[in-house]
Amino acid sequence: MTTVLAARNLHKSFAAGGMFSAGGAGKKAVVDASFELAAGETLAIVGESGSGKSTTARMAMRLLPIDSGEMLWNDEDVSTLSAHALRSRRHHIQMVFQDPFASLNPRMKIWESVAEGLRVHHKGLTRAQRRQRVAETLALCGLDDSGMDRYPHQFSGGQRQRIGIARALIVEPKVLVLDEPVSALDVSVQAQILNLLNQLQRERGLSYLFISHDLSVVRHIADRVAVMFAGRIVETGTAEAVFHRCRHPYTQALLDARPISHPDERIHNRLPMGADEGVAESGCPFQPRCPFAQADCASFDCRLNAQGFACLHPCS
């Protein structure tokens, strides 16, 4: 299978006092993260807030600089390319953001927002041709052209997210990075957007890097899952394997925390967790919260093994 996106040993830290801090120890947001995304595949990155999944997504897009490691688009390392060099390559990968209203310029008409990519990557198109391409792409996303001259505030949340998807698709990318694309929507609208994404993937052969904390959504859309904790990928595998045969205690804790309609539906028994928060400075970062932690965990090199999990004492 062709690999359209790959990360190799990504690292990212932020200054402890924020991006304008004068000094001090940095906070490690992403540590040695590696993954691959194949053509036509959906890879979901899941984890709690602060786990590093959105930072990873922004490094995949090169919206954040990479401290070390490689990011490959179509086997080309783009981790050190300048903004100017990246511009000509951005048609390969586009992003759909969590908040569809915040990602649209309130002063621009919808057709103008959607057509922005055409002005960069298809400069030879006339205004009429751009409008036609926008109308076709909006129709692909379930919207007619009657609203092209309206503004973002005149649409519902679900319609705005469809517009955001259309804006990403207008330059015909191979990869979409979807950062919590349905978390701001009502449940019924979430289902519509997920069905749209599935349909677009089948019709256009798209690949998705899907960022989410909602495991119910991930189970519906993902082919493979990568679980992040404290900036590290601690388990990876097919969606079937991760949801039914997970090995890392953190993955099991995430699954046990899902809302369910009846206790009999729970796959695992709830783990007796340790502290609610806390990350170990050395060894396995999950030690302070892990019910299986032992002395040797403090010196464990937290890397994925051949079975796809990073743990000395797996749950199964």
Quick one: three-class SS letters along 131-190?
A: HHHHHHHHHHCCCCHHHCCCCHHHCCHHHHHHHHHHHHHCCCCCEEEEECCCCCCCHHHH
pLDDT at position 276: 55
Task: Judge if 89 and 105 occupy the same domain.
Answer: yes
Task: Judge if 182 and 157 occupy the same domain.
Answer: yes
Given 216, 244, 272, the domain boundary residue is: 244
Residue with the bigger pLDDT between 1 and 196: it is 196
Task: Judge if 184 and 286 occupy the same domain.
Answer: no
Given 244, 270, 304, the domain boundary residue is: 244
Task: Judge if 88 and 221 occupy the same domain.
Answer: yes
Task: Please say if the pLDDT value at position 274 is more than 80.
Answer: no
Residues 14-20 have a mean pLDDT of 67
Number of domains composing the chain: 2
Q: Binning pLDDT at 50, 70 and 90, where does residue 312 land?
A: confident
Contacts of 80 (CB under 8 A, 6+ apart): none
Least-confidence region, from 67-71, 90-94, 273-277: 273-277
Domain encompassing residue 71:
3-244
Residues 260-273 have a mean pLDDT of 57
Q: Specify the 3-state DSSP secondary structure of 252.
A: helix
Task: Judge if 253 and 232 occupy the same domain.
Answer: no
Task: Judge if 20 and 146 occupy the same domain.
Answer: yes
Task: Judge if 79 and 93 occupy the same domain.
Answer: yes
Task: Judge if 168 and 277 occupy the same domain.
Answer: no
CATH of residue 196 = 3.40.50.300
Residue 257's beta-bridge partner residues? none
Contacts of 276 (CB under 8 A, 6+ apart): 289
Report the distance separating Cα 163 and Cα 113, nearest Å: 9
Contacts 24+ apart (CB under 8 A), 300-305: 302/232, 302/234, 303/32, 304/34, 304/233, 304/234, 304/235, 304/236
pLDDT at position 316: 67
Task: Judge if 156 and 280 occupy the same domain.
Answer: no
Task: Judge if 215 and 311 occupy the same domain.
Answer: no
pLDDT at position 24: 46
Task: Please say if the pLDDT value at position 55 is more than 80.
Answer: yes
Residues 116-173 have pLDDT tens digits of 999 989 989 999 999 999 999 999 999 999 999 999 999 999 999 999 999 999 999 9
Residues 80-102 have a mean pLDDT of 91
Residues 208-218 have pLDDT tens digits of 999 999 898 99
Task: Judge if 146 and 179 occupy the same domain.
Answer: yes
Task: Judge if 288 and 233 occupy the same domain.
Answer: no
Report the distance separating Cα 208 and Cα 224, nearest Å: 11
The two beta strands, 232-238 and 224-229, are antiparallel
Confidence (pTM): 0.91
Given 244, 276, 294, the domain boundary residue is: 244
Task: Please say if the pLDDT value at position 22 is more than 70.
Answer: no
Which residue type does 197 have?
L
